[in-house]
Structure 1
């Protein structure tokens, strides 16, 4: 890796860690924070990140596996971190589309690994794909997803008063 690539890789990794830290600092106790995301790996060249999330008993369904809504929350939060890293400027990037495919149940109490890739980032739209698995069995995919996030610059994000 040449010095320019190494600097870009360091910036890429730092942006994701800052995004995770910001959630913990500003939204303590929320669903996203309760997943305790950790950065496992990233590749600036591939525009990809791997994160790990924790699950807990309160997230289970009647079958003692991770509730489908919580599966979607894990994927959306992870991809949301990537969307914020891909924003062209400070602002907000709410989810406007989320497609989740449930392939295998996730046992409650197991960590969930999520690998996501920023497919494209335009002036207003950020497209991301993801896959999730448990434990070290990367080849046994449990979930796949794609999402679109709408970017709005910080100066346009704040509502203006007209009264």
Structure 2
């Protein structure tokens, strides 16, 4: 018997709004070693045809985390609580991103998670939750779609 709540398969979380703050984007860009001024300087970004500084592609992870934090603050379960993720035995599995459009400073985006499936591996020693996260802009549509798997390494007595 696994730990994940498999009855949540197919559920889509309510959309959570996240505003991408310029200072946080600049800090993130500097932290990851980004030197291109379109990620750091609003004037350079505008000169390159962007409305404001660009969010680095890897910032999508941060946006997802911010959405989970806001869900908890609003009294909603974050994705781990929703699927009954147990941090004592949780492992990070695969992760992939499909980019459909850029994110900019001062964008307010909506983030939703879909619990797409649950599978087992290693003869039942592992159970895997498959999550799709979408970051959407109200006028530019889908910006980022992320697929990830979260893994429980089950105690031997819980393995079939």
Specify the TM-score bucket, using the shorter chain as the normaliser: 0.5 to 0.7
Gaps of 5+ in 2: 1-7, 27-38, 46-52, 70-77, 120-125
Structure 1 pair 140–84 and aligned structure 2 pair: CA distance change class (3 A) = same
**Greater relative contact order: 1 or 2 (C-alpha under 8 angstroms, separation 6 or more)?**
2
Q: For the aligned residues, what is the CA RMSD?
A: 3.2
Alignment deviations for residues 104-134 of structure 1 (CA, whole Å, 9 cap, x no partner) = 1112112221122101134621101122112
Runs of 5+ consecutive residues of structure 1 not aligned to the other structure: 1-43, 157-163
Report if the CA contact (8 A) 2:18-2:66 is conserved. Answer: no
Q: How does 1:94-133 map to 2 (within 5 A)?
A: 94-122=91-119, 124-133=127-136
> How many residues end up aligned between the 2 structures?
110
CA distance in 2, matches of 1:94, 1:56: 30
The structure with the largest alpha-carbon Rg is 2
Task: Give the Cα–Cα distance (whole angstroms) in 2 for the partners of residues 97 and 77 of structure 1.
Answer: 20
TM-score (norm 2): 0.54
1:3-54 deviation digits (Å, cap 9, x = unpaired): xxxxxxxxxxxxxxxxxxxxxxxxxxxxxxxxxxxxxxxxx68411122223
Matched ranges for 1:55-94 at <5 A: 55-57=20-22, 58-60=24-26, 61-62=39-40, 63=45, 64-75=53-64, 81-87=78-84, 91-94=88-91
Provide the secondary structure at the position in 2 that maps to 1:104: coil
Which is further off, 107-116 or 82-91? 82-91
